[in-house]
Structure 1
Amino acid sequence: MNILLTGATGKVGRHVARSLAGSGHHVRALTRTPATAALPAGVEVVEGDLEQPQSLPAALEGIDRMYLFPVPETAHEVAALARKAGVRHIVVLSSSSVLEDESNPSHQHHRAVERAVEDSGADWTFVRPDEFAGNTLWKWGDSIRTEGVVRAPYGKAARAIVDEADIAAVVATALLEDGHAGAQYLVTGPQALTQVEQVAAIAEATGRDIRFEELSREAGRAAMSAVMPPPVVEMLLDYLAESAVTPGPVTDAVRRVTGRQARTFASWAAEHAEGFGGEAAAGDASGAGGVSGAGSGGSGGSGRSSSAGRSSSSS
């Protein structure tokens, strides 16, 4: 079987490439910069760009199954080209946001790709992960490394954030095995953790004391607006507010599809401790760090102390 991976150098795509490299199947990886792809031995790396569908026909030649990274602007053309080339099954990296309100920009982004693949006539599998564990690195990594603090609104917002390796394992299984056509997998971690609890897990993994400072919605909006457009900021604030009242769903999709349990966030944090400035060895989450919180209510600014895990409180 011949498999094409798009988005092969992304957070999920790299894990998919590693999973498939020793599968005995021919794996071709599409990237804009083959020279710097650094993918596993045995993976054929070819140049191409989903934003430029005219670059894809050679990469699609002879392909049976395909992993599709979501680019809605060209999704219809890409899916049509794949089908024309003989691709029988497309596994789409989608998002849990497609289950939310249609006004949600993330819903619109990912559902557009799903519709394009549905319209192509190919068999499909939609892998819909909740929030990536790795997002905590880009959201909080700098402030944890430099100040030992996380500043965010809605400390009680709880989601079952998921290890990218688990998302990739679901994708790889759907590519390699029959029986996944028409499946829609909501992929989550094994438990919903509040933001305060996530910070506590990072503190434990790194052996550092990390402070959680609750921001009001207004302060959170101001901070997020520096790096995100207004519609995305409001979407994320609403997402956090809702998750503070009703924790995000927890599914067993990883176990059902792959046969093993989803990894915990604590395990992920231990493996990535260095990214947060920690010195703990990979896989060792027995550090002596703790988290202290200033406020934990969804409205922010309450002045109440909140803590989780190995913690101390401050008022």
Structure 2
Amino acid sequence: MSILVTGARGAVARNLAALLSARGLAHRLGSREPAGPRTVRCDLSDPGTFPEALAGARSVFLYAEASGIEAFVEEAVAAGVEHVVLLSSSAVLAPAAADNPLAAAHRTVEDALLASPLRATLLRPGSFATNALGWAGPLRAGTPVRLPYPGAHTDPVHEADLAEAAYAVLTDPALAGRSYTLTGPQSLTFADQLSILGRALGRPVPYEEVTAEQWKAEVGAFIPGPYADALLEYWAAGDGVPATLTDHVTRLTGRPARSFGTWAEEHVGDFSADGFRNAEDPGPLARTGASGKGE
């Protein structure tokens, strides 16, 4: 069994690759910017990179990229791929998902896979714990984190849990061909997460509440307006409303999901002046629980 792991520079893909390597399972990594002997160029928005990346693969761990999905499915079928595990998003389950650009993009990828001859397993995480890496800049600068909805609840899930869930469905045929909604073990507000992060860092992490308009203006250089609006809508809906949690991580991995406190303790170095590693993560849209392009 050969497995193609796309988005090789993303946190989930890196953890998954480590699990596959530790167990001696044949795999290759796909990235827009390949580095290393086991990595091939695989830009999920460039169909020209698909044939080489998919050659010999029987299973694929796929980041969601809507623009090239039809061509990817066609090439995967031609290459003899049998099973695709998609890192999708729980945003597709929202009542107004069709009107949300983040959810709609993931739904497009899901629909293309489900309409194909490929066996598809859908992993639908909620909010990634790595969202917190977006606060590293203010923490390094010693300024408050600016939040439009500090009381908004999310269900931060550890990237290692997502990788272990992906490993489980890639290696156990009995688990494949289904959809799983993956959450962390706690519903936490942003204020809760900053408090937990502060305990891990050994110092307070202050925050400042700002308006939605202020926040949107501040992030306009790297989050397009429609996506910023979708995030604000998501956070507003969760303001004071606990997130719905599932036991799907436990069902797939055989153990409880890691807490945000565990994540914070493991990532203390990422919040130091020389330790921040944002580039290895898929990007701000991917960290919202509506994953975007893999690396």
Bin of the TM-score, shorter chain as denominator length: 0.7 to 0.9
- TM-score for both structures, normalised by structure 1: 0.82
The structure showing larger relative contact order (alpha-carbon pairs under 8 Å, at least 6 residues apart) is 2
Mapped to 2, the partners of 1:172 and 1:123 lie a distance apart of 16
| Deviates most, 188-197 or 232-241 | 232-241
Map of 2:102 onto structure 1: 106
Moved over 4 A (4+): none
Mapping of 1:277-296 within 5 angstroms? 277=272
8 Å Cα contact 1:208/1:278 also seen in 2: no
What fraction of aligned residue pairs are identical, expressed as a percent? 39
Q: 2:192 aligns with which of 184, 188, 197?
A: 197
Q: 1:246 aligns with which of 225, 235, 241?
A: 241
Displacement after TM superposition at 1:263 (Å): 0.5
Map of 2:73 onto structure 1: 79
Which one has a larger percent strand, Structure 1 or Structure 2? 1
Displacement after TM superposition at 1:33 (Å): 2.8
Q: 1:266 aligns with which of 250, 261, 279?
A: 261
Map of 1:288 onto structure 2: none
Is the counterpart of residue 47 in structure 1 residue 36 in structure 2?
A: no
Rg larger for: 1
| Aligned partner of residue 208 in structure 2, secondary structure | strand
Q: CA RMSD in A?
A: 1.8
Which one has a larger percent helix, Structure 1 or Structure 2? 2
Mapping of 1:52-131 within 5 angstroms? 52-100=46-94, 101=96, 102-131=98-127
1:144-201 deviation per Cα after TM superposition (whole angstroms, max 9, x unaligned) = 1112421101111011111111111111111111112331111110000011100001
Number of positions where the alignment pairs a residue of Structure 1 with one of Structure 2: 272
1:92-113 deviation per Cα after TM superposition (whole angstroms, max 9, x unaligned) = 0101111121101111111111
Identify if the C-alpha distance between structure 1 residues 255 and 220 changes in structure 2 by more than 3 Å, giving closer, same or farther. Answer: same
Mapped to 1, the partners of 2:62 and 2:196 lie a distance apart of 32
The amino acid that maps onto 2:20 is: L
Q: 1:143 aligns with which of 128, 131, 138?
A: 138
8 Å Cα contact 1:134/1:164 also seen in 2: yes
Mapped to 2, the partners of 1:65 and 1:256 lie a distance apart of 21
Map of 1:7 onto structure 2: 7
1:14-45 deviation per Cα after TM superposition (whole angstroms, max 9, x unaligned) = 1111111122321111123333x5xxxxx832
8 Å Cα contact 2:170/2:176 also seen in 1: no
Displacement after TM superposition at 1:278 (Å): 8.8
Runs of 5+ in structure 2 lacking a partner? 275-295
Displacement after TM superposition at 1:219 (Å): 2.7
